[in-house]
Structure 1
Amino acid sequence: MRQFVIIDIESNTVQPDGEVLIVKANPVKEAEGFEHLEQMFGKKYFNYAMNECNETEVFMLPYSEELTRKLIQLARKYEDGVFWTLNMSEFIDARLSTPNGSVSIHKSTALVRRTLRIECQKYIPPVADWEFKHKIVDGIKIVTFSATKTTVRDNLDGGFSWDSGDIAFFVFPDNEENMQMLNDSIKLEPLKKQFWEPDTSSFYHARISMTGPLGSTGHDLYISNELPENRILENLQDALW
């Protein structure tokens, strides 16, 4: 187990992990040369830095309000000798892209499990190829469509069911390979437990808002990594509608 003093906590949304907590912390080490004082006063003495430095380590954890409160409380108790104690086997080494470049992080294995669940999310694609929209956006040939994201459940009677789900939008390069994949997908039969399961880690993910008669609704947008997402996002109205 390792101990840390927390120097910064922030929530953020990153891909493909979703909403996360980014925690910066400095390692805590037992101070040397204080054995006499420890015997006299019965307390331990520690060394740690309270500012970001070369020893600062970055952790990424699943976001929750409860965890945020606990970390804030721990961050305030360092003067009492109470530190953030971690089992490092519950983290993996990873990289995080930031505006200032890529940084090394310790990523919670809970996030890895959550990402796997997200990547296995099932979709019901359009029912006919006429729902594919073939467009040219900023000189790029694309095909876009909406699919229904759903959760499939096994029932106690041996059958299965799925929820009504949410609409998500997908954007692919308009080429023969992708059209073959999409035409195969619309032949799937949900009543036979056949669902489309794209690997969403191969897409750029964003959240978009649509305004309708009942107000604004949020939707997932997935842009294939084969496309320059910035150019699609800059022309989103032409790309989707």
Structure 2
Amino acid sequence: MDHAAVLTAYDRDLREGARPDGPGARIERAGRVVRQVADPLGWNGVLWSGLEAAEADRAIGDQIDRFTGLGRDFEWKLYGHDGPADLGDRLLAAGFRAEPTETLMVAEVAALDLDTAPPAGIRCVAATDPAGVDLVVTAHERAFGTDGTALRHQMLARLAADPGTVVAVAALADGEPVAAARMELVPGTPFAGLWGGGTVEAWRGRGIYRALVAHRARAAAGRGYRYLHVDASAMSRPILARLGFHALGTTTPYVHEA
């Protein structure tokens, strides 16, 4: 894989040329900043910026004004190769809070082992209706200990408006959801994104995560997508590396509360 070429395409297609991630969202381009504005349960934030040092503080202030004027918390999704070099420090000085840094990883679908099956006793169920969404959200809440209200809202809206752009799956053990994951497809690009992969603690280390990656990779291959991308946590990075994903950089969410 030509890492530099893939990263350039990623920035062009998914960040600078971003599309709304749901029916209640819109993309706004303001100078050298691309942001998404959504309803309170959607994702609000900055997707891309191409700032010089002289304009960075003003641009940061403009984004704060825009989102706080709407009463929205928002995220500035900062990548390690974004400029200026001290943009993270400037965001902190402006009142943002940095969350844990993740690794941007990409794999060519054709290079992955798509035959990985779930371990014994695990059944994978596609989430194509509200009942399936409930399974995914329940597994997500149990795996991460977070409230799944916003996730449920976003998934139901996406499935209702454009079901061909999202693939969600829950892993069941004796009928109970023990893991879940989703994939978001971006039409007109070679990229499909893996999101939300999580397994309940008691079921980790058994190969469920790998099986869910393979499940989504098969779906991406069937739809003609070339690359899978994921923001990998420290826990998932070594698993993804063994599966054939390449680290292309880092991304850090900087959160500003309205």
TM-score of the aligned structures, taking structure 1 as reference length:
0.29
More helix by share: 2
More strand by share: 1
TM-score of the aligned structures, taking structure 2 as reference length:
0.27
Higher relative contact order (CA 8 A, sep 6+): 2
